[in-house]
């Protein structure tokens, strides 16, 4: 059995959770709701210490937590909420100031195995890790690092060196929350729990693969963050590449989750570094007027790219990836396009070349798998229609990704976190285009991005725009 419970960094649970960047956007949108979900399940029974520069006190932090939980899904368990709020403490301070860590030490009191979650800009990771170590707070501790991990290959390597100089690898938890989404874990399961896919899952039968991750909203109040990040660093180098790795990986060779990490890392290492002509960058109309954004900003809010994996299985198969803010829908989907039948036997075959059969993984907002096939229409002629064999995979009440990941990290389970070599390999793929690229092309809000993205995929058909109403 694939051992999902693989434990790293010892099996003892962390006895405190420290949240650096607790006043930020991620904490508000994802972390407080995740903590509330853990509290409702009765598995959060440690002090939670928030650290940030703002001059807040613990009462203000509790209010922020309450507001964020109320906004995200509502408060439906008052005792769990009260319990969570009573565990929250706040430490205000500059991450460069040793005093901040001394104040933290005081608040941590008897805690001996804290977990430090760095939900802060990646440029501050090294400072905080060194501050933790200098204050003597690193022993038996775990560190959870939010993505993006570094901003290029060199900074990711430097960061890995700093993190490894303080924490053993098995106590470092690099987050890519996509790995903890049910629909994405299902890619691994669906591929290897069934036998019918494997014979066709290669360059002989697959014509191309498309992945779309689109959002119908903008950068919200994250202008300053987004200006240093952009779409390629924000979601392509991590979320989209991890999806590619799960779709492209070889079967795990042994029954521990380390085998999955090995197999996905191998895919990332086999990805061909991108060239400028493989990438199309766009920017939504009005982005430059967003707070925190430069008037002449060339930061991309949309990327479309063509990727190749130089492996026996995937040689020559193009992977088309696309993501953007302010697109037409908030939706994520994979289309694995199978090659057309070798002979065009029927009158209606010609114009359909290539589109007869595909496998579709809907990743969000719902989770589903569909296989498209043509079926004869009733009548004297041999013509037909395309239908989908459809597997509904809804799981109401499923654990959210941050709930899952925080819970796992606190008990040392590393299965759903990314490994150092994978992160670095992913940076190596995007390295050539981080600087060498065309200027952004403007696109209208709520469109599917710049028209020019069509040219990128033209040789293999067209972008498949996911339909919201379609399950
Ligand atoms: C984050 C990005 O990692 O993922 C955001 O920083 C993006 O820009 C988000 O909106 C998407 O995650 P989800 O879970 O909402 O699909």
**Which strands make up the sheet holding 331-338, listed edge to edge?**
384-392, 368-376, 358-364, 331-338, 206-214, 319-324, 302-307, 279-284, 441-443
Atom number, ligand 1, closest to the C-alpha of residue 178: 14
User: How far is 307 from 244, CA to CA, in rounded Å?
Assistant: 10
Question: Measured from the CB, is residue 247 less than 6 Å from ligand 1?
Answer: no
Residue 420: how many CB atoms within 10 A of its CB?
19
For 86, other C-beta atoms within 10 Å of its C-beta total 11
Q: Name residue 48's beta-bridge partners.
A: 17, 88
Three-state SS sequence of 162-189: HHHHHCCHHHEEECCHHHHCHHHHHHHH
Residue with the two structure tokens 């060498």: 436
Distance (Å) from CA 324 to ligand 1 centroid: 11
The answer to whether the peptide bond before residue 148 is cis (omega within 30 degrees of 0) is: yes
234 Cβ inside 6 Å of ligand 1: yes
Question: Which tokens go with 461?
Answer: 């058909």
Q: What are phi and psi of 236, to 5 degrees?
A: -80, -55
CATH number of 16-174: 3.40.50.720
Distance 105 CA to ligand 1 centre (A): 32
pLDDT at residue 348, rounded to an integer? 84
How far apart CA 339 and CA 356 sit, in angstroms, is 8
The residue whose CA is least distant from atom 9 of ligand 1 is 235
CATH 3.40.50.720 domain extents, the chain: 16-174
Distance in angstroms (rounded) separating the CA atoms of residues 86 and 66: 11
Distance CA 395, CA 251 (A): 26
Answer whether 172 contacts ligand 1 (Cβ < 6 A): no
Residue 222 CA: nearest ligand 1 atom is 8
pLDDT score for 353: 54
Q: What is the pLDDT of residue 347?
A: 84
Contacts of 159 (CB under 8 A, 6+ apart): 122, 125, 126, 149, 150
Q: Which residues pair with 447 in a beta bridge?
A: 327
Domain 179-460 has what CATH class?
alpha beta
CA torsion sign for 259, 238, 358, 470 is: positive
For CA atoms 250, 254, 255, 261, give the dihedral sign. negative
Catalytic positions are 239
pLDDT at res. 362: 96
The residue whose CB lies within 8 Å of the most ligand 1 atoms, and thus the one to mutate among 177, 222, 404, is 177
Question: Which among 397, 221, 208, 224 is positioned nearest to 321, based on CA atoms?
Answer: 208
Task: Give the number of other CB atoms < 10 A from CB of residue 135.
Answer: 17
> In the numeric block, which tokens belong to residue 239?
């979320």
Question: How crowded is residue 436: how many other Cβ atoms within 10 Å of its Cβ?
Answer: 11
Taking the centre of ligand 1 as the mean of its atom positions, its distance from the CA of residue 283, in whole angstroms, is: 17
- With a 6 Å cutoff on the Cβ, whether 235 touches ligand 1 is yes
Q: Residue 235 Cα, ligand 1 centroid: separation in angstroms? A: 7
pLDDT in single tens digits along all 471 residues of the chain: 566 545 555 679 999 999 999 999 999 999 999 999 999 999 999 999 999 999 999 999 999 999 999 999 899 999 999 999 999 999 999 999 999 999 999 999 999 999 999 999 999 999 999 999 999 999 999 999 999 999 999 999 999 999 999 999 999 999 999 999 999 999 999 999 999 999 999 999 999 999 999 999 999 989 999 999 999 999 999 999 999 999 999 999 998 999 999 999 999 999 999 999 999 999 999 999 999 999 999 999 999 999 999 999 999 999 999 999 999 999 999 999 999 998 888 988 765 556 789 999 999 998 999 999 999 999 999 999 999 999 876 766 678 999 999 999 999 999 999 999 999 999 999 999 999 999 999 999 999 999 999 999 999 999 999 987 666
Please report the pLDDT score of residue 81 as a whole number: 97
365 CA to middle of ligand 1, Å? 12
Q: Distance between CA 416 and CA 117 in Å, rounded?
A: 16
CATH 3.30.360.10-classified regions of the chain: 179-460
- Is the link from the previous residue into 464 a cis peptide, with omega within 30 of 0? no
8 Å CB contact between 118 and 131:
no
């Amino acid at each position: 059995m694939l051992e999902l419970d693989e434990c790293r960094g010892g099996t003892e649970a962390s006895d405190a959770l420290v949240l650096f960047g607790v006043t930020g956007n991620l904490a508000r949108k994802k972390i407080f709701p995740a903590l509330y979900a853990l509290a409702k399940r009765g598995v959060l029974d440690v002090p939670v210490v928030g650290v940030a520069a703002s001059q807040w006190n613990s009462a203000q932090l509790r209010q922020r937590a309450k507001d964020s939980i109320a906004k995200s899904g509502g408060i439906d368990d008052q005792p769990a909420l009260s319990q969570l709020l009573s565990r929250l403490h706040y430490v205000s301070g500059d991450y460069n100031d040793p005093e901040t860590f001394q104040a933290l030490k005081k608040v941590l009191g008897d805690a001996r195995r804290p977990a430090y979650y760095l939900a802060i800009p990646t440029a501050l990771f090294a400072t905080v890790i060194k501050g933790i170590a200098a204050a003597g707070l690193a022993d038996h501790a775990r560190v959870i690092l939010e993505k993006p991990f570094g901003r290029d290959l060199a900074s990711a390597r430097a960061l890995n060196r700093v993190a490894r100089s303080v924490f053993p690898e098995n106590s470092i938890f690099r987050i890519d929350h996509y790995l903890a989404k049910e629909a994405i874990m299902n890619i691994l399961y669906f591929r290897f729990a069934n036998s019918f896919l494997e014979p066709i899952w290669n360059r002989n039968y697959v014509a191309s693969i498309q992945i779309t991750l689109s959002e119908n909203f903008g950068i919200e109040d994250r202008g300053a963050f987004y200006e240093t990040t952009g779409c390629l660093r924000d979601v392509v180098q991590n979320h989209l590449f991890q999806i590619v790795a799960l779709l492209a990986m070889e079967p795990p060779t042994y029954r521990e989750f380390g085998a999955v990490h090995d197999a996905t890392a191998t895919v990332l290492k086999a990805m061909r570094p991108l060239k400028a002509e493989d990438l199309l960058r766009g920017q939504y109309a009005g982005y430059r007027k967003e707070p925190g954004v430069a008037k002449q900003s060339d930061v991309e809010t949309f990327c479309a790219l063509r990727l190749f994996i130089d492996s026996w299985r995937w040689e020559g198969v193009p992977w088309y990836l696309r993501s953007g803010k302010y697109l037409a829908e908030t939706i994520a989907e994979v289309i694995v396009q199978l090659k057309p039948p070798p002979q065009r036997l029927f009158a209606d075959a010609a114009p359909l070349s290539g589109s007869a059969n595909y496998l579709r993984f809907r990743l969000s907002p719902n989770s589903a798998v569909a296989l498209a096939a043509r079926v004869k229409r009733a009548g004297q002629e041999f013509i037909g229609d395309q239908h989908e064999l459809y597997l509904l995979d809804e799981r109401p009440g499923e654990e959210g990704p941050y709930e899952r990941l925080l819970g796992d990290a606190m008990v040392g389970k590393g299965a759903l976190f990314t490994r150092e070599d994978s992160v670095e390999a992913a940076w190596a793929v995007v390295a050539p285009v981080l600087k060498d690229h065309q200027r952004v092309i403007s696109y209208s809000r709520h469109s599917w991005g710049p028209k020019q993205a069509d040219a990128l995929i033209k040789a293999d058909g067209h972008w498949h725009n996911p339909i919201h109403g379609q399950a």
